Amino acid sequence: MKGYLTFIKFTFKYKYYAVMNIVCNVLSSIFGLFSIALVIPLLDVLFSTAQNNTTKHVRTNFDFNHIVAWGKENVWYYKEFYGAETVLLFICGFVVIMIALKNVFRYLALFYMVPLRNFIVSDYRIAAYNRILVLPLSYFSKEKKGDLLSRMTSDLHQIEVAIMSSLEAFTKEPITIIISLVMLIWVNPILTLIVFSALPVSALFAALIGRLLKKQSARSQSKLGDIVALIEETLMGVRVIKAFNAQDFLLKRFLVQNKLFTDLNIKANRTSDGSSPISETISIAVFATILWIGGKMVLSNEYGMTASVFIGYLTVFSQLMSPAKAFSSAYNSMNKGLASIDRVNEIIDSQEVITEKPNAHSILKFQETIEFKNVSFKYDEEHVIKHLNLTIKKGQTVALVGPSGSGKSTLTDLIPRFYDPTEGQILIDGVDIRDYKILELRGLMGIVTQESILFNDTIANNISFAKQNISKTQIEEAAKIANAHSFIIENENGYETNIGDRGNKLSGGQKQRLSIARAVNTNPDILILDEATSALDTASERLVQEALNNIMLNRTTIIVAHRLSTIINADLIVVLEKGRIVQQGTHNDLIQQNGTYKQLIQMQQIPE
């Protein structure tokens, strides 16, 4: 139901196109049906041998009977004057003009429909993408990447093909159906009752199929999400797959998922295919009944049913069949698409958990301290940070060390509010960070992670990134500080070189130095380095470390360190274990104690 509501909201924005589409469709239906319906009495007169019993009048009323009577009079008149053949030719010409007009309006209706369709899907796409940009990190660890990708692509496509292409049917077909029914009632009300009696049966049947289709489509779209996830994983891991000869292993996983998806699709296709033969059988049963009862009326000459009226009736009835069919297939498509609308709406409506208070404080400069006060945090059930207290002073270099999984990265994620603590507070300059404006808070920080996140764009754009209005000189300055300038200018196009998807045309160390240049560019007060050198070989590590030393000057730095050799000179070393601080002090302090730090140092064979 909610799916319908958001859909109507999106459609309402483009009501002009919707209204124009409806108006053109009404006109198109009227021209189409009138051309056929008016031909009936005319033919009747034309082939009749009876004497002319009407005279030509000027009429001002435009109801059906008047129009028909007017038509009849003219045909009588012209038949006598010009002969039957000419009048027949005239009638045929009349039908062609009417049908041409019908199609002009049909094209106009589609003309207005196209922007409506595309704008609505485009709005859905924008809304979903916008949401993805602001959603908290916790959302992405819960939702599978592949599933999100499939919602953003396949489900949106489904909305376009299933809903948008059938949307029009909901205005156009009922108009044609109603106009046809009115005509049928006008020609013969009794016979028309029979048509009506079949309606509830068809409607019930359509509703059942519709419900089933929606359920099946939701399942199949979600399975497609699994497949996209698998493909994404495979593309990311091509190198490892080849190295470990894991093709068979992955193929097996893929075959399982693919079979489930195919089976679901087969089921859904069979359901929707079933709808057409059943509805056709119902309609042919109705048609046969009409033939039988109507035929009897003609034979016994009852209810004013002549042969030509009956032919006319059947012609209009046959005109009713195709919109009825189109309507029911549109209804099926709509149900399939609604499953996709629900899936896209789940992204659009997902809750923002990291929120800004209405009268949040401004923070443009970091002045004194970052304090963790009794901070605890959990992703799921278990706390991964437990009652942690820590003070970091401006200008200090603080290193977080400890075994893998001890909570180092999580701790750094709490400072820019990627996650909020479940207990306790983090204060910057004495104010809870939840009281600051989020963008300004994050603006204080520069982050370099182990995996350098680069975008398929030029080197210059990857460095300037969010700050698009900075000069070339500033970009070069940043690159020089990050030890990246020399390798950049070696490229033929220098700063304008495109670095490929995720920067895969660069080495690990080069990527990392670009990430550092990007961080330099924002000139952050607080620098967060999360194992920034751990994935590099010794030579690149030296270059990257030099770059880091350059940018750490005069800044407050929090380093998550894997290689302890890089943090020996830190002002404060904090040793974490299972989410708690077990030791803190300088290298010299800690080495005196017989604790975890000393063991780590010994493991890495660093001279004390």
Binding site for ligand ADP (CB under 6 A): 141, 379-380, 384, 402, 404-410
Which one, 120 or 148, has the nearer CB to ligand ADP? 148
Which one, 32 or 407, has the nearer CB to ligand ADP? 407
Given a contact cutoff of 8 angstroms between Cβ atoms, the answer to whether 604 and 564 are in contact is: yes
Q: How far is the CB of 579 from ligand ADP (least distance, A)?
A: 7
Q: CA 319, CA 188: separation in Å to the nearest integer? A: 16
Residues facing residue 573 across a β-bridge: 399, 585
Which one, 141 or 367, has the nearer CB to ligand ADP? 141
Q: How far is the CB of 141 from ligand ADP (least distance, A)?
A: 4
Q: How far is the CB of 179 from ligand ADP (least distance, A)?
A: 59
Hunting for tokens 């509805």 — which residue is that? Answer: 279
Given a contact cutoff of 8 angstroms between Cβ atoms, the answer to whether 380 and 422 are in contact is: no
Q: CA 163, CA 121: separation in Å to the nearest integer? A: 10
Which one, 123 or 577, has the nearer CB to ligand ADP? 577
Q: How far is the CB of 597 from ligand ADP (least distance, A)?
A: 15
Q: How far is the CB of 565 from ligand ADP (least distance, A)?
A: 18
Residues facing residue 280 across a β-bridge: none
Q: How far is the CB of 560 from ligand ADP (least distance, A)?
A: 6
Which one, 141 or 549, has the nearer CB to ligand ADP? 141
For CA atoms 218, 220, 222, 225, give the dihedral sign: negative
Q: How far is the CB of 547 from ligand ADP (least distance, A)?
A: 22
Which one, 224 or 385, has the nearer CB to ligand ADP? 385
HSE-up of residue 507 (Cα within 13 Å, Cβ side): 12
H or E segment to which residue 584 belongs: strand 580-585
For CA atoms 412, 413, 416, 421, give the dihedral sign: negative
Please list, in sequence order, all residues whose beta carbon lies within 8 angstroms of the beta carbon of residue 578, skipping any fewer than 6 positions away. Answer: 386, 406, 407
Q: How far is the CB of 420 from ligand ADP (least distance, A)?
A: 14
Which one, 386 or 598, has the nearer CB to ligand ADP? 386
Q: How far is the CB of 412 from ligand ADP (least distance, A)?
A: 8
Which one, 63 or 382, has the nearer CB to ligand ADP? 382
Output the six-digit token pair for 8. 């109507």
Q: Which of 524, 533, 590, 606 is nearest to 557 (CA)?
A: 524
Q: CA 554, CA 581: separation in Å to the nearest integer? A: 26
Q: CA 526, CA 355: separation in Å to the nearest integer? A: 22
SS3 call for 92: helix
Q: Which of 438, 449, 382, 387 is nearest to 415 (CA)?
A: 438
Q: How many CB atoms lie within 10 A of CB 149?
A: 16
Cα 524 to chain centroid distance, Å, stands at 34
For CA atoms 300, 304, 306, 311, give the dihedral sign: negative
Residue 323 amino acid letter: P
Output the six-digit token pair for 589. 């302090």
Q: How far is the CB of 529 from ligand ADP (least distance, A)?
A: 13
Which one, 380 or 490, has the nearer CB to ligand ADP? 380
Which one, 265 or 409, has the nearer CB to ligand ADP? 409
How buried is 313 (Cβ within 10 angstroms: 0-12 exposed, 13-18 middle, 19+ buried)?
A: buried
Which one, 67 or 384, has the nearer CB to ligand ADP? 384
Hunting for tokens 């910057």 — which residue is that? Answer: 428
Which one, 410 or 556, has the nearer CB to ligand ADP? 410
Three-class SS of 6-47: HHHHHHHCCHHHHHHHHHHHHHHHHHHHHHHHHHHHHHHHHH
Given a contact cutoff of 8 angstroms between Cβ atoms, the answer to whether 510 and 539 are in contact is: no
Q: How far is the CB of 454 from ligand ADP (least distance, A)?
A: 22
Residues in the chain: 608
Q: How far is the CB of 256 from ligand ADP (least distance, A)?
A: 26
